[in-house]
Amino acid sequence: MTDSNSSDKNNNDPAAAARGSQLANDFTVSVHYDRRLYHEDIAASIAHARMLGRQGIVEGDDVEKIVDGLGKIRDEIESGEFEWNPDLEDIHMNVESRLYELIGDAAGRLHTARSRNDQVATDTRMWTQTACSRAFEAAVSLQTALVDLAEQHVDTILPGYTHMQRGQPVVLAHHLMAYFEMFDRDTTRFAQAAESADVLPLGSGAMAGVPYPIDREWVAEELGFSEVSHNSMDAVSDRDFIVEFLAAASLAMAHLSRLAEELVIWSSDEFGFISISDEYTSGSSIMPQKRNPDFAELIRGKTGRVYGSLIGLLTTIKGLPLTYNRDLQEDKEGLFDAADTVIIALESAAGMISGMTVNASRMRQAAEKSFVLATDIADYLVGKGVPFREAYIAVADLSKQCIAAGIGFGELSLADFRKASDLFDEGVMKITLESAVAARNVPGGTAPDRVRAAIAEAKQMLAEAQ
């Protein structure tokens, strides 16, 4: 049962008061992570100060002091000399406090015609645009690695899989180019997220605009924004652009995780399709023969934390009334972590693809020691006028007989084929892995000529993206 006088006792207890103050600091302070916005915060403040001077809102001498002081602060931060004070809560107040120390009362004029609400929204949009650009470039690097490897393996045949069961033969280049397509969609989404972030909120004030003759268009041009926000209430509370970046990052991580899973499987002794370079593997603490695909596994594992950042922010914003609410402080840690994760994952995947060794003979053996030509044999009967479903049944029975006898199609004689259908003739004996892949000569198919054309198109796309 709570003592009715406990509150009074705590009020008179310095230790309790100190604990309460420490809790407030620990719970509300954001400077330990939002100081990553220092470059954007200082750049936006310099542009804002210069605009105030251009508009005659702040005297020119004070503007020069402010700009000079902000430049010194940026140098201090980048040299590691800046002393971050958690008591000042966030990046904005730390910079402003240091500016007072450097230039005195003129520092107080910097915050004219702005609020921390539109200030942090501006900083975060600028940071997100840079993150989108870096993720885009990392994805392009991975695409380049995929195309380079694909170009070397247009004629390397392996089984294509559905349900992790060998299905039809494909060339390795075609398989790799499937991932090129996935990451191409990712680059598009990162570019779209950057476009969404490309709106200047500065000038919206706390929520209603500001009562000064500011020039928002000039600030937008100075900071590289394409347009200014249209509604001040929306501008200070909008975090859709972060959601879009996190969604783009999540899909990129999904694609990376799929690629990583295949690298893990393909590098196993059971498959032996590839060997991942030592740079991206590690040994076991007790099993000296092991080469663990750690980078691929970590990419696969880190996918969940990026998903978590997306779900976390969606949950944060789902019930917020207009306009700014302190809940939005929770937007940045997930953004920073997701950006760091997806960029290093893309870079790691590019390194693995560039450095891995392909065991082409093992891939071909896997295709030869299977029934991946079954569809082509059925299609052969279709070419003789047999309805596909009847041809399917005939070849399915033939496959079962081969499996029971422990042999493959390649070990069957023409007489064996004719037991399944008397429409089989010498032509069925000419069906090979090469003829099967060559037969898929349709747009998007695995025929080598089609794959070469796809690679050429991809190289042109990459050249334009540079």
As a whole number of angstroms, the distance between CA 354 and CA 348 comes to: 10
Rounded to the nearest angstrom, the gap between the alpha carbon of residue 73 and the centroid of all alpha carbons in its chain is: 32
Q: Mapping DSSP to helix (H, G, I), strand (E, B) and coil, where does residue 210 land?
A: coil
As a whole number of angstroms, the distance between CA 230 and CA 168 comes to: 55
> Residue 206: beta bridge partners?
none
How does DSSP classify residue 86?
Answer: G
Closest among 198, 224, 181, 80 to 132, alpha carbons compared = 198
Residue 215, φ and ψ in degrees, nearest 5: -120, 90
Q: Are 245 and 301 in contact (CB under 8 A)?
A: no
Q: CA distances (Å), 330 to each of 26, 102, 365, in order?
A: 14, 31, 53
Residue where the block lists tokens 């393996």: 153
Closest among 164, 168, 178, 161 to 439, alpha carbons compared = 168
As a whole number of angstroms, the distance between CA 111 and CA 206 comes to: 12
Catalytic residue among 6, 7, 97, 284: 284
Catalytic residue among 163, 230, 285, 413: 163
Rounded to the nearest angstrom, the gap between the alpha carbon of residue 270 and the centroid of all alpha carbons in its chain is: 30
As a whole number of angstroms, the distance between CA 242 and CA 129 comes to: 10
Omega within 30 of 0 (cis) for the link into 323: yes
As a whole number of angstroms, the distance between CA 244 and CA 124 comes to: 13
Q: Is 163 a catalytic residue?
A: yes
As a whole number of angstroms, the distance between CA 204 and CA 118 comes to: 6
Q: Are strands 227-228 and 157-162 parallel, antiparallel or unpaired?
A: unpaired
Q: Give the active site residues.
A: 163, 284
